[in-house]
Amino acid sequence: MGPDFLLETETAKRLYHSYAENLPIIDYHCHIPPKDIYEDTRFTNLAQVWLGGHQKREDGSDYYYGDHYKWRLMRANGVPEEYITGDAPDRERFQYFCETLEKTIGNPMNHWCQLELRKYFGIENVICGANAQKIWDKANDMLQNDPHCTCRGLIESSSVRFIGTTDDPADSLEWHQKLREDSSFAPIVAPSFRPDLALNIQKSSFAGYMKQLGKAAGMEINSAADAARALEKRLDFFVSMGCRASDHGIETIPHTAAWNDEKRADEVFRKAMAGEAISEADRDDWQSWLLYQLACMYDARNVAMQLHYNALRNTNEKYFHLLGADTGFDAMDAHDCIHGIQSLLSDLTMAGRCPKMILYSLNPEDFDALETLAGCFQQDSSVKSRVQLGASWWFVDTKDGMERHLHIYGRLGVLGNFIGMLTDSRSFLSYTRHEYFRRILCNTIGSWVENGEFPDDDAMLKPIVEGICYYNAARYFDIPE
């Protein structure tokens, strides 16, 4: 994994080292805590950074934080749960992870971790059980003492220009406010509006969440219209804090005939608030109505709308009850959401209210359909490729997954307008995923050029590479230079 890692041609090497390698990073979708950025948290050891673990909230309840990508691999390697999310000593947990990683040939986790060691700690040792102690000692010394190894130091040393976190509409955004007032930290940290708890009306927690949302918005929520007004008030607050994107991680993207039927939405809302059972049809009607309302709000405020779907969540009921959500028990689903997205886009376009929209499916079988659908809704806007096929996400942010995504986008759209990669991560070391993507991008373009499929002309290639790596996202999300 030297300087030309993944760069198979001379053209790929030239494009990467000349144009991609040193560009700043726009990480427009991630899950890192703004509190840690503001407080400039310093981790004491590499297990805390890579594996996270078991924590307690202020109210004393348990929760689990960390990288569930890594947890899944450790479980597949037979590691007992106490060394994954449990209270086992960090050094022992780290040993198990290193012993797991030495078997992960073909898995991008192996590449990501090696890139992180090299970039942030100057460690060239292969990650394996035999090298665990050497890696542990050097990395921990730097984490405890090097000024570049705090949360802010890691962000700044990665040349990160913009971070879009993921935040609930009822969140106070306290730490975003503090960061906005802190002139000593140059990167922009902005909230992203994620109203999943308001959309998921079928959940038993919905009524309680409406009370929480109403409190945050300074109003009582007694109807569907009230819920939409409360969300709009909170969106305005998010925009005042620099919000440029929303995110929706619901299971499917429905668009039923009830999309403009407030009476039907109110009927479902009142059922949920009364604790009555919500059918699948009820859920779809509510989500169709509310997604349309939200999309119109985003369009009016120049907020991009991200739609993530086809994640089959919390599949292992036993461990969902033990550990909670986002702990490594999600899988790829196969819902057909293309017709729902098409109807939503068509009705929004008819009304002149279609926002910038980024479409992600966790199932790569949807990529061709999503890219062809995006191409049908590019009019009536000065934004280039206003509707986009989103970057390879979660289980498909692999070498072959990114290559497939780039080939499909290039074959069916205008690849030069793609807004590039994101981390979708909870780790402050994960910015090397942008490096990984940039290497794969330059290698893909380099192969096309050397095959004679595109001119070997840097006057044309430079803006394509630089645009995908940085400038397209800067324009799309209105990030100042």
pLDDT tens-digit map of 287-311: 999 999 999 999 999 999 999 999 9
CB 348 within 8 A of CB 300: no
Residue 211 in tokens: 């009370």
| 374/368 Cα distance (integer angstroms) | 10
- Across 47-56, 89-98, 185-194, 209-218, least confident range: 47-56
Share of the chain above pLDDT 90, in %: 95
How high is the pLDDT of residue 332? 97
Mean pLDDT over 376-388 rounds to 96
Main-chain phi, psi angles of 468, to 5 degrees: -65, -35
The pLDDT score that the predictor gives to residue 350 is 98
Torsion angle of the four alpha carbons 328, 334, 340, 342, in this order, in degrees rounded to the nearest 10:
100
pLDDT digits (tens, 9 = 90+) for 321-368: 999 999 999 999 999 999 999 999 999 999 999 999 999 999 999 999
Decide if 228 contacts 199 (C-beta within 8 A).
Answer: no
pLDDT the model gives residue 57: 65
Residue 311: helix, strand or coil by DSSP?
Answer: strand
- How far, in Å, are 15, 54, 80, 95, 365 from residue 85 at the CA level? 41, 6, 9, 14, 32
Q: Domain 192-418, what fold?
A: TIM Barrel (3.20.20)
Helix (H) or strand (E) holding 58: none
User: Kindly report the CA angle at 326 between 321 and 121, in degrees rounded to 5?
Assistant: 135
Residue range 423-479, pLDDT digits in tens: 999 899 999 999 999 999 999 999 999 999 999 999 999 999 999 999 999 999 999
Break the chain into its structural domains and give their ranges. 42-149, 192-418
Q: What is the pTM of this model?
A: 0.96
Contact (CB, 8 A) for 478 and 302:
yes
Q: Which residues, 6+ apart, have CB-to-CB distance to 332 below 8 Å?
A: 310, 311, 312, 362, 363, 395
First-to-final CA distance of the chain:
32
For 187-238, the pLDDT digits (tens) are 999 999 999 999 999 999 999 999 999 999 999 999 999 999 999 999 999 9
Topology of domain 42-149, CATH: uronate isomerase, domain 2, chain A (1.10.2020)
**pLDDT band for position 64 (cuts 50, 70, 90):** confident
pLDDT in tens, 125-174: 999 999 999 999 999 999 999 999 999 999 999 999 999 999 999 999 99
Specify whether the CB–CB gap between 310 and 366 falls below 8 A.
Answer: yes
pLDDT at 370 over 70: yes
Residue 54 has pLDDT above 90, yes or no: no
Average pLDDT, the chain: 96
> What one-letter code names the amino acid at 55?
Q
Q: Do domains 42-149 and 192-418 have the same CATH topology?
A: no
Distance CA 283, CA 161 (A): 39
104 pLDDT higher than 70: yes
What are 70's two structure tokens? 């890594």
pLDDT value of position 58 = 65
Predicted pLDDT at 66: 84
